């Protein structure tokens, strides 16, 4: 049973090949969207006013994300409201009210205090979606440490790189993950002073050189006063990938909470009675900004599901937990589409009010499918690790052009720009022209730097614009349409993968001379990581070697990052087998064109 969006079925007209989904007042008889009229709300908006919706630390001691997410509710009328409901792998649940979350995060802040961890020190977490992760994140923010989540499916090499770059001082992880992935790289991490282990099967952990997380929590006091926190104090470190070089650590400050809160309200339409489910893992920024912070600052109940995707399990959770607002991603939606609408219709999803999607292009077919399946369309929105929060969105009360990412949030100025020959950028004002998507800096959750890489940060800004690295178009109504990436980074199942990180690990293998890595189009995952490898002189390609390389990459990089396919390139005497520019850069664009049988485009810089 689904409660359908009234107008969608009746008022469809053809524009750009897909019928827009028209919204009307009849669609929100129960809950009036916060952003009820795009133009009005945008015109009246200012970040100063948005800031006033937050509390601030008592006694004017500044602004702290964890205070806004937890303590202000725990001190007020929502103290007994359910903040987090955790659903574990075996179906068991654990509930945390705002008051209980305050107590636990106070304890973790005290654990850091007692360990002598200083303000600004980086506290990393490497766990699945378990309650301790959420307590670690918010407790770290209370203590004014910098929280950095790591994705638990990463292999030892991506973990080592991220821990080393951010000079992690503390790591919270599980005993199993520590033994499998961290113990072997710990010697390479001189800054890592404290490792807190969550024992398996609720047993305390006794691994040498580590402390037991739960024991430390029990021994710590449950009272903690957050110290003075400036809006510009660093709070979060999120790694992302570029085309070349090491992963980049995007720094976000406590002021970001103004954007988390506002976008949760305006783009996800969070209302106090909502049960919200963000399916993303906190190892990626969506799972932190919207899986931890935004729902809590908005005072709603947030669902955390430990288990990975399974369509039927997800429908059952939506039904049983009476989820009202659901934030998911295109790869999952495409997998649900494969099963058709019949399995969805077995469940009573009448509580579901608003569906949103992020992370990769959402096909118009998926938007229209969700109307049939859930009686409501998925609302695509766009942002990136660097922007910290949603920048462009389809809003509850705004008509949807299926295939479009929507319109900029209030307080966000976006543009399509092009590079000029003089190295500056020029705004393209004509509609429907392709260019790079740019944003005017100044919103609260804009990244404030790449950790220890000022030069890389500086290069993101030209002529007063932040350049996003995405190609897009804007139509005459101000809707933005994603075209592709301007660089070679790969999006696979919603995860951003830097080709250089994969190439480097392949080249560690004694048989490999060189490697070039691309995203190969895939109907479900959007792209699959594919590697082209040239072998050292005297090494013959073989099926056994291919399997060995796949295995090597998987154990070093982890399943998400490792290539799914490896092709051997013919080795030609005295000639590089990978296409390269005269300055020696691998032309991944050409590898991709050849893989797809497409024209090779401009090859004037090609070496041979
Ligand atoms: C890149 C950012 C969104 C936060 C988590 C991922 C791509 C994001 C969309 C969308 C098409 C999208 C862009 C962007 N992307 N949203 N709605 N349609 N592409 O953050 O890992 O930093 O990835 O994801 O290419 O630049 P991220």
Query: What average pLDDT does range 85-111 have in this prediction?
Result: 97
Report whether 297 contacts 68 (CB < 8 A): yes
Tokens of 103: 């107590």
Distance from Cα 1 to the centre of ligand 1, integer Å: 32
Least Cα distance to 498 among 148, 125, 158 occurs for 158
Percent of the chain beyond pLDDT 90?
87
Distance between CA 558 and CA 155 in Å, rounded? Answer: 4
Report whether 106 contacts 224 (CB < 8 A): yes
Query: What average pLDDT does range 371-377 have in this prediction?
Result: 96
**Based on C-alpha coordinates, what's the Rg of the chain?**
24
Domains of the chain: 97-239 (3.40.50.980), 490-596 (3.30.300.30)
Strands (DSSP E) found in 510-581: 512-522, 526-535, 565-568
Query: What average pLDDT does range 576-591 have in this prediction?
Result: 83
- Per-residue confidence (pLDDT) for residue 575, from 0 to 100: 64
Distance between CA 179 and CA 177 in Å, rounded? Answer: 6
- Per-residue confidence (pLDDT) for residue 14, from 0 to 100: 41
Least Cα distance to 406 among 527, 266, 258 occurs for 266
pLDDT band at 364 (very low <50, low <70, confident <90, very high): very high
pLDDT per position as a tens digit, 257-304:
999 999 999 999 999 999 999 999 999 999 999 999 999 999 999 999
Predicted TM-score (pTM) of the model is 0.94
Distance between CA 372 and CA 573 in Å, rounded? Answer: 58
- Per-residue confidence (pLDDT) for residue 598, from 0 to 100: 86
Which ligand 1 atom sits nearest the alpha carbon of residue 362? Answer: 18
Least Cα distance to 468 among 216, 240, 185, 144 occurs for 240
Q: Is the CB of 384 within 6 Å of ligand 1?
A: yes
pLDDT band at 10 (very low <50, low <70, confident <90, very high): very low
Distance from Cα 247 to the centre of ligand 1, integer Å: 16
Query: What average pLDDT does range 181-195 have in this prediction?
Result: 97
Distance between CA 261 and CA 56 in Å, rounded? Answer: 13
Q: Is the CB of 479 within 6 Å of ligand 1?
A: no
Secondary structure of 50-115 as H, E, C letters: HHHCCCCCHHHCECCHHHHHHHHHHCCCCCCCEEEEEECCCCCEEEEEHHHHHHHHHHHHHHHHHC
Percent of the chain beyond pLDDT 70?
96
Q: Is the CB of 496 within 6 Å of ligand 1?
A: yes
The answer to whether residue 601 scores a pLDDT higher than 70 is yes
DSSP one-letter string for 336-380:
HHHT-SHHHHTS--TT--EEEEESS---HHHHHHHHHHHSS-EEE
Distance from Cα 191 to the centre of ligand 1, integer Å: 32
- CA distances to 46, 115, 198, 200 from 206, rounded to whole Å, are 52, 18, 10, 11
pLDDT band at 4 (very low <50, low <70, confident <90, very high): low
Calculate the average pLDDT of the chain. Answer: 94
Would you call 590 exposed, middle or buried from its count of C-beta atoms within 10 A (0-12, 13-18, 19+)?
buried
- Per-residue confidence (pLDDT) for residue 122, from 0 to 100: 98
Query: What average pLDDT does range 211-233 have in this prediction?
Result: 98
Tokens of 132: 């301790």
- Per-residue confidence (pLDDT) for residue 16, from 0 to 100: 55
pLDDT per position as a tens digit, 437-477:
999 999 999 999 999 999 999 999 999 999 999 999 999 99
pLDDT per position as a tens digit, 508-557:
999 999 999 999 999 999 999 999 999 998 999 999 999 999 999 999 99
The answer to whether residue 607 scores a pLDDT higher than 80 is no
pLDDT band at 608 (very low <50, low <70, confident <90, very high): low
- Per-residue confidence (pLDDT) for residue 574, from 0 to 100: 64
* SS3 (DSSP) at 501: helix
Which ligand 1 atom sits nearest the alpha carbon of residue 469? Answer: 26
Tokens of 214: 């739960």
Distance from Cα 158 to the centre of ligand 1, integer Å: 20
The answer to whether residue 576 scores a pLDDT higher than 70 is no
The answer to whether residue 498 scores a pLDDT higher than 70 is yes
Least Cα distance to 359 among 327, 329, 397 occurs for 329
Distance from Cα 420 to the centre of ligand 1, integer Å: 25
Ligand 1 pocket: which of 280, 384, 492, 495 to mutate (most atoms within 8 A of CB) = 384
Q: Is the CB of 360 within 6 Å of ligand 1?
A: yes
Beta-strand relationship, 82-87 and 301-305: parallel
Q: Is the CB of 359 within 6 Å of ligand 1?
A: yes
What angle, rounded to 10 degrees, do the helices at 330-338 and 364-374 form?
60
Distance from Cα 597 to the centre of ligand 1, integer Å: 27
Q: Is the CB of 561 within 6 Å of ligand 1?
A: no
Query: What average pLDDT does range 373-401 have in this prediction?
Result: 97
DSSP 21: B
Residue nearest to atom 18 of ligand 1 (CA): 361
């Amino acid at each position: 049973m689904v409660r359908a969006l009234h107008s969608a079925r009746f008022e469809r007209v053809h524009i750009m090949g897909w019928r827009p989904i028209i919204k009307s007042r009849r669609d929100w008889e129960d809950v009036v969207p916060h952003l009820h009229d795009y133009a009005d709300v945008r015109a009246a908006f200012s970040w100063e006013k948005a800031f006033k919706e937050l509390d601030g630390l008592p006694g004017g001691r500044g602004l702290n994300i964890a205070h806004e997410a937890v303590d202000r509710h725990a001190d007020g009328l929502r103290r007994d409201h359910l903040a987090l409901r955790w659903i574990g792998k075996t179906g068991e649940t654990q509930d945390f009210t705002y008051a209980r979350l305050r107590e636990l995060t106070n304890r973790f802040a005290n654990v850091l205090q007692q360990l002598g961890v200083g303000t600004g020190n980086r506290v990393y977490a490497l766990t699945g979606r378990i309650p301790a992760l959420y307590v670690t994140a918010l407790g770290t923010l209370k203590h004014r440490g910098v929280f950095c989540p790591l994705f638990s499916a990463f292999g030892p090499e991506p973990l080592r790189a991220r821990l080393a770059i951010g000079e992690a001082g503390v790591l919270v992880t599980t005993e199993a993950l520590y033994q499998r992935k961290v113990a072997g790289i710990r010697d390479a991490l001189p800054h890592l002073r404290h490792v807190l282990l969550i024992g398996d099967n609720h047993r305390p952990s006794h691994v040498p050189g580590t402390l037991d997380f739960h024991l430390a929590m029990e021994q710590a006091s449950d009272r903690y006063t957050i110290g003075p926190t400036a809006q510009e104090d660093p709070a979060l470190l999120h790694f992302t990938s570029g085309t070349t070089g090491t992963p980049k650590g995007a720094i976000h400050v406590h002021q970001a909470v103004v954007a988390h809160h506002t976008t949760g309200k305006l783009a996800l339409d969070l209302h106090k009675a909502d049960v919200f489910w963000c399916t993303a893992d906190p190892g990626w920024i969506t799972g932190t900004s919207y899986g931890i912070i935004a729902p809590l600052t908005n005072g709603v109940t947030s669902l955390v599901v430990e288990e990975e995707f399974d369509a039927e399990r997800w429908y059952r959770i939506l039904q049983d937990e009476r989820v009202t607002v659901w934030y998911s991603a295109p790869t999952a939606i495409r997998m649900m589409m494969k099963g058709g609408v019949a399995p969805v219709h077995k469940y009573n999803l009448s509580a579901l009010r608003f569906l949103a999607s992020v992370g990769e292009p959402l096909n118009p077919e998926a938007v229209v499918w969700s109307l049939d399946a859930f009686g409501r369309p998925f609302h695509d929105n766009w942002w990136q690790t660097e922007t910290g929060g949603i920048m462009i969105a389809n809003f509850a009360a705004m008509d949807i052009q299926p295939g479009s990412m929507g319109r900029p949030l209030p307080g966000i100025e976006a543009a399509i720009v092009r590079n000029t020959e003089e190295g500056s950028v020029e705004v393209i004002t004509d509609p429907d022209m392709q260019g790079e998507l740019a944003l005017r800096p100044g919103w609260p959750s804009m990244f404030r730097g790449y950790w220890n890489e000022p030069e890389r940060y500086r290069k993101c800004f030209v002529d007063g614009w932040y350049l996003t690295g995405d190609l897009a178009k804007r139509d005459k109504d101000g809707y933005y349409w994603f075209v592709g990436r301007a660089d070679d980074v790969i999006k696979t199942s919603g995860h951003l993968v830097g080709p250089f990180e994969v190439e480097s690990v392949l080249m560690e293998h004694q048989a490999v001379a060189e490697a070039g890595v691309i995203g190969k189009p895939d109907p479900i995952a959007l792209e699959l990581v594919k590697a082209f490898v040239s072998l050292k002189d005297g090494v013959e390609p073989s099926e056994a070697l291919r399997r060995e390389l796949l295995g090597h990459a998987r154990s070093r990089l982890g399943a998400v990052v490792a290539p799914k396919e490896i092709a051997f390139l013919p080795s030609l005497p005295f000639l590089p087998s990978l296409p390269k520019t005269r300055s020696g850069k691998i032309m991944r664009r050409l590898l991709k064109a050849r893989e797809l049988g497409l024209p090779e485009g401009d090859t004037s810089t090609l070496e041979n």
